[in-house]
Amino acid sequence: MLNKLIKYDFKSMFKNLMPLYLILIGFSILIRISGIAANHFSILKVPAGTLTILYIMLIFGSFIYTFIVSIKRFYTNILKDEGYLTNTLPVKKSNIVLSKILNSGIFLIITVLIIILALIISYFPNQEVVNIFNGLKNSIESLGYNFIVVLLFMIVYMLLGYLNYIQIIYTSLAFGQMHNSNKIVYSFVSGLIIYTVAQIFNLITLGLFIVIFPDTIDMVNTNSVTPSFFTQIFLYGMILQIIYFVAYYVITTVVLNKKLNLE
């Protein structure tokens, strides 16, 4: 059943995001053309520059839009009129929520890939980018780490971080809908509370981390960082994100199971 839920959430979100992807690709072609044109006719350099600024705004906007689509799907499918169908399907609520989370992740990845594709279309080949990339690769490897492993780790870490931000909104919406009126206000307040609690939890765990690994402070103070320092920090960060992921997921599911209040 989870697969079916994923399929339909995917279809719906794709319909919303497809126009964005087309615009991104289209704009990337435009940038490429304007770049070539500006090289031939210097009076076109200013318009080309303007286009570049728009391009950057578009790319940033794409992340925001992807985030919004992920939130919107959760909200309309579970908490609005569609909820009368979704919540009476013979499926587990936990799977309904999980499907939304997974699709949020999938579409973040797709958006990123489309942006990378767009950038390649607009600017490839670009020696500066290659230089930066190689520089990064070298410094990581000089610390004794495998570049691919670090890259994968960072991708997973950032993905989890993004999904946890999304989940904070999901959980807030779940708390908000419990009330009969002013649902948005309650959602907002819940969000603030959850965020604050998370920050406090961050501080507590940081304190614990320092207590368990006192050498970390020394390393930072004496500026003599060893490879294990990074490993500890990254593992600490990853474990924290995993804890949040599970916590938000469980709380959202429990609230939707026991305190659903559709209008």
Partner 1 sequence: MTLVECKNLYKNYGKREVLKNINLKINKGKIYGLLGPNGSGKTTLIKLINDLLVPTNGTILINGKNPGIESKKIISYLPERTYLNFDMKISETIEYFKDFYDNFDEKKAYELLKRLNINKDDKLKTMSKGTKEKVQLVLVMSRKADIYILDEPIGGVDPASRDYILDTILKNFNDNASIIISTHLISDVEKVLDDVIFISDGKIILNESADKLRNERKKSIDAIFREEFKC
Nearer to partner 1, 36 or 179 (CB): 179
CA distance 118 to 30: 10
CB 232, min distance to partner 1, A: 43
Residue that has been written with the tokens 């689509």 in this structure: 69
CA distance 53 to 67: 22
150, 156, 161, 167 alpha-carbon torsion, rounded to 10° = -170
Nearer to partner 1, 137 or 183 (CB): 183
Of residues 68, 69, 88, the one with CA closest to residue 78: 88
Nearer to partner 1, 77 or 122 (CB): 77
Which spans of this chain sit near partner 1 (rule: CB under 8 A)? 1, 4, 7-8, 12, 15, 77, 81-85, 87-92, 180, 258-262
CB 10, min distance to partner 1, A: 13
User: 156 and 241 in contact (C-beta within 8 Å)?
Assistant: no
Of residues 31, 40, 22, the one with CA closest to residue 126: 31
Nearer to partner 1, 84 or 128 (CB): 84
CB 189, min distance to partner 1, A: 17
User: 73 and 100 in contact (C-beta within 8 Å)?
Assistant: yes
What number of other Cβ atoms are within 10 A of residue 208's Cβ? 11
> Which structure tokens are listed for 222?
């004496």
CB 95, min distance to partner 1, A: 10
First to last CA, the chain: 26
CB 146, min distance to partner 1, A: 43
Nearer to partner 1, 32 or 82 (CB): 82
User: 256 and 171 in contact (C-beta within 8 Å)?
Assistant: no
Instruction: Kindly calculate the radius of gyration of the chain based on its CA atoms and give it in whole angstroms.
Output: 22
CB 170, min distance to partner 1, A: 19
Nearer to partner 1, 226 or 261 (CB): 261
Question: Residue 33 half-sphere exposure, CB side, CA atoms within 13 Å?
Answer: 6
Nearer to partner 1, 185 or 262 (CB): 262
CB 200, min distance to partner 1, A: 29
